[in-house]
A and B are shown apart, each in its own frame.
Chain A
Amino acid sequence: MAYVSTALAALADPTRRAIFEQLGDGPRSVSALARGLPISRPAVSQHLKQLKEAGLVTDHADGTRRIYRIDPAGLGVLRQWLDRFWDDALAAFKAEADKEAEE
């Protein structure tokens, strides 16, 4: 569960979410990401570090640049979505069962 909450905390920040969404279009270098955002390159690096620690992105060296991409194994967000999905579904199921029980 620590893993999921780390991923969620990482995405709660709008800038990090914007970075994550950009990476959804394909791998990017830090400079390329910084060009599309109103923040400095070091600030982008800091956000990327947190996304990486949350298991949402991975990076590799390309010469002197670092290229970031979404980590397909980083299923924290997907799991969280499914968690909410089943919470909602079972709550609705229970509500309907309660109606039946009263009949």
Chain B
Amino acid sequence: MTQTITPAPIRKSVHVDISPARAFELFAAKTASWWLKSHSISATKSPIKDVIIEPRAGGRWFERGEDGSECDWGKVLAWEPPQAQGKGRLLLAWQINADFKYNPTLLTEVEVLFTPENGGTRVALEHRLIERMGERAAGMRDAFTRGWGSLLESYGKAAA
């Protein structure tokens, strides 16, 4: 029997010296101002012009290339901007599979919490249910194994 090990959620957090409301706005409404342009999954290989997270639950999360083409990343599950100096929460569905393709039947979650901290904001991100990428892969082994090539390429570059 194959032994299955469930990968732990990825957790990251940073402190920023702007209010939770501004941090939420920067993260969710002005995403393209900080999003790394190399983080594109566009099939047309067009450079990223914009990254859009629609401001409502049920909205789309997608990139738009300079050529105008759009490529979905997932959707918005919860859109809760901070009120005054309070807490805020953004819950996104990351629907990119291990082959770096959008897959509407795959759902992993990215939750971002904005909490007041020392006059600024603690931004805590959790990417969870990563194991679902493996479950999906079991049913589409061919597509998945092809994906390892590009994954390794990324790994090699990152490790270099």
Contact = CB atoms under 8 A, between A and B. Distances in A.
Contact of A85 (B39, B98, B134): B39
Interface in B93-151: 98, 120, 123, 125, 127, 130-131, 133-134, 137-138, 141, 144-146, 148-149, 151
Contacts of A17: 152, 156
Interface of A: 1, 3-4, 8, 11-12, 17, 20-21, 23-26, 55, 58, 69-98, 100-101
Given A24-B148, A77-B155, A97 B17 contact: yes
A96 B35 CA distance: 10
By secondary structure, the A interface counts as helix
B94 to A, nearest CB: 9
Interface of B: 2-5, 7-8, 10, 12-18, 22-23, 26-27, 30, 33-36, 39, 98, 120, 123, 125, 127, 130-131, 133-134, 137-138, 141, 144-146, 148-149, 151-152, 154-156, 158-159
Contact of B155 (A11, A58, A97): A11
A46 to B, nearest CB: 20
A89 B73 CA distance: 15
A12 B158 CA distance: 12
Centre residue among B15, B138, B145 by max chain A CB count within 10 A: B145
Given A21-B152, A73-B4, A100 B18 contact: yes
Contact of A83 (B10, B14, B33, B120): B10
A58 B130 CA distance: 20
B17 A75 contact: no
Contacts of B35: 89, 92
